Chain A
């Protein structure tokens, strides 16, 4: 069954013809060329494919493209403003919150979902919220620091000096 879907992706209206079984992540990557959203496990475990649909984090490998018809999708490509990184992306860079980078788009999208619901999360709350995002470089420590910093900057506070050393 072919179906034409119309949705908003990163603020722009988009139409595409998909099959019933086309996954949202396939539509984003293969038809719209938005390859920042990754497919890691393809079984809703790893969270590399997390995007926002109508402002809520979802796993794009476990949503059908037709289920996003008429809805608004935000991917990692839509997070920055031009060449200026979003404060959460900047915080990931500041804290070296990645090694290979494969999980990073999903981590950032989950982090933004967390901060939307909980603007001042504790370390424990950050760790709990990342339950559905796997990093196989085992770099969680800096990811948690980055999310705390990103959240602080988004609250309008100065970035916390998490290492206890003078910032350069």
Chain B
């Protein structure tokens, strides 16, 4: 690992000042992706700005028709939260299958979505639920937040403060995981919401995406059979030693049908 200066500010103003003063500074949330990245020398930040000291970024609140989850809330907290289990049980179930227990004790929702790994789980939930990402400057609809592989709508000095997730009528996340890394080879989040049915796919492509054909078919008939003939084109999907694009395309259909069935 290359050497860097470590900071642990206690206010967002101080974070902004540190990021402004150091062009090559990077933010660390839980560090479950960034620390391994640094160890591989795939990144060389001059400064590491740790958000752990900013208590306002942590916690889960019930806003009636939605849950608001602070950016520094850890996966283990989401997994065990009575508010989440009651309001969006599919989200607690999703948090339970991220990484492993020790990773879930450190990794955060804000870190996960800001990093936007193509195989991360949370982007599927945030898009699938039609959530809103709150930052130090604005609110960004989930559909506009995730812009590409490891890319988001965030500016360099803009920080996710919380994620607002509307409570669905029903939702389910089904994940076909890589057994070694526990990342999603394909994960599909299906939600019946006030605004219609949403189907969000992670792991299959360079970035989380929705499947409008499935959403329309499920709006007509919310059954696994309604989407059994919808084929996902393999063009542009990820292909690696773990799964070909063709296989991933097939898995999207399988996971989507299981998720619809899992909505009960």
Contacts and interface: CB of A to CB of B under 8 A. Distances in A.
B86 interface: no
A66 B4 CA distance: 12
B116 to A, nearest CB: 19
A132 interface: yes
Contact of B5 (A20, A59, A114, A129): A20
Contact of B106 (A1, A43, A58, A117): A58
A29 B4 CA distance: 22
Interface in A35-65: 42-45, 47, 50, 56-59, 62-64
Given A43-B36, A43-B39, A63-B31, A57 B101 contact: yes
Given A3-B6, A45-B180, A62-B35, A21 B1 contact: yes
Interface string B8-20: 1000000000000
A19 interface: yes
Nearest to B106: A58
A143 B182 CA distance: 21
B182 A44 contact: no
Interface residues of B, number: 28
A117 B76 CA distance: 11
A123 interface: no
B67 to A, nearest CB: 22
Interface in A1-53: 1, 3, 19-21, 23, 42-45, 47, 50
B103 A132 contact: yes
A43 B180 CA distance: 12
A104 interface: no
A113 interface: yes
- The bracket for how many chain A residues form the interface is 20 to 34
A67 interface: yes
A63 B39 contact: no
A110 interface: yes
Given A45-B180, A64-B35, A19 B3 contact: yes
Nearest to B5: A1
B190 to A, nearest CB: 23
Give 7 closest A-B pairs by Cβ, nearest first: A132-B100, A20-B6, A21-B1, A131-B100, A56-B105, A1-B5, A57-B102
Interface of A: 1, 3, 19-21, 23, 42-45, 47, 50, 56-59, 62-64, 66-67, 110, 113-114, 117, 129, 131-133
Interface of B: 1-6, 8, 31-32, 35-36, 38-39, 48, 50, 52, 76, 80, 99-103, 105-106, 180-182
